[in-house]
């Protein structure tokens, strides 16, 4: 099976996204390393979704984006060529379901931490500030992109409540916009291009980045018998 991938890079680091497994991604200092990680990522992603596993994934690069962003810190602004196309209602329901499952599993992971302000991770600072270390910091960071992502496609949303509730309200507001599935690509903050498809993908992708970091930190801090593998990262 072919895995259609988008390669975003800054000449030193690479992000590789699976176009036909929305939200699945790998990172590496080179394209070759990111490609090597992709079959396992696809397997974990399909197990998380409860879908049949793909046989012998073949990685195909279908789009390339050279960036000036800090790719190693998962900073991204790529718009997939396919994300400029309108959505079918069935496809929207499928992607929305995945985005809401992701929020629910993130909530489950967060709630399992016996101490949400304790972390064995060392402090680390990037160009953008301190990296979230604790479950509380990771949760708030991940939840609080809600208003930002929705606002980039003209949807008035907030970050109140849980990651589940604020995301659900955002989708409800989106769905009250006439012809929202046919919405064109818009230019948002910092000149970045957005679409409904991209927002759906970014939610799943962003959850996955920080869920993986939270899970690994939780194992290091509290042990595998305490922290649930709600995203299937250990499989």
Percent of all residues in the chain with a pLDDT value above 70, rounded to a whole number:
99
**Which CATH topology does 83-222 take?**
1.20.120
23-33 pLDDT tens trace: 999 999 999 99
**How does residue 234 score in pLDDT terms, banded at 50, 70 and 90?**
confident
Q: Of 49-53, 61-65, 109-113, 148-152, which range is least confident?
A: 49-53
Q: Where in the chain is the domain with CATH 1.20.120?
A: 83-222
**Which CATH topology does 2-78 take?**
Double Stranded RNA Binding Domain (3.30.160)
65-88 pLDDT tens trace: 999 888 888 889 999 999 999 999
Q: Give 8-14 contacts, CB < 8 A, sequence gap 24+.
A: 8/64, 8/65, 8/67, 8/71, 8/76, 8/78, 9/64, 9/65, 9/66, 9/67, 9/71, 10/66, 10/67, 10/68, 10/69, 10/70, 10/71, 11/66, 12/71, 12/72, 13/71, 13/72, 14/71
Q: Where in the chain is the domain with CATH 3.30.160?
A: 2-78
Q: Is the pLDDT of residue 127 over 70?
A: no
Its pTM stands at 0.95
Residues 6+ apart with CB under 8 A from 226: 112, 114, 218
Residues 6+ apart with CB under 8 A from 211: 102, 105, 106, 109, 142, 230, 231, 233
């Amino acid at each position: 099976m072919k895995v259609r991938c988008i390669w975003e890079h800054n000449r030193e680091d690479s992000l590789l996204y699976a176009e036909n497994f929305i939200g699945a991604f790998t990172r590496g200092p080179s394209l070759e390393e990111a490609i090597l990680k992709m079959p396992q990522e696809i397997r974990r992603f399909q197990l998380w979704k409860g879908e049949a596993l793909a046989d012998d994934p073949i990685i195909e690069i279908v789009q390339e984006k050279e960036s000036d962003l800090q790719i190693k810190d998962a900073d991204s602004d790529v718009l997939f060529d396919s994300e400029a196309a309108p959505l079918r209602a069935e496809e929207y329901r499928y992607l929305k379901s995945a985005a809401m499952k992701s929020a629910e599993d993130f909530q489950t992971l967060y709630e399992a931490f016996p101490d949400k302000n304790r972390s064995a991770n060392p402090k680390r600072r990037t160009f953008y500030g301190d990296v979230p270390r604790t479950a509380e910091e990771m949760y708030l960071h991940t939840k609080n992109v809600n208003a930002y992502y929705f606002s980039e496609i003209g949807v008035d949303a907030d970050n109140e409540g849980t990651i589940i509730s604020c995301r659900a309200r955002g989708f409800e507001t989106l769905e009250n916009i006439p012809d929202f599935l046919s919405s064109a690509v818009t230019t948002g903050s910092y000149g970045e291009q957005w679409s409904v498809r991209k927002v759906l993908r970014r939610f799943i992708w962003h959850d996955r980045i920080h869920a993986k970091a939270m899970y690994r930190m939780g194992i290091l801090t509290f042990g595998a018998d305490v922290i649930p593998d709600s995203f299937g990262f250990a499989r």
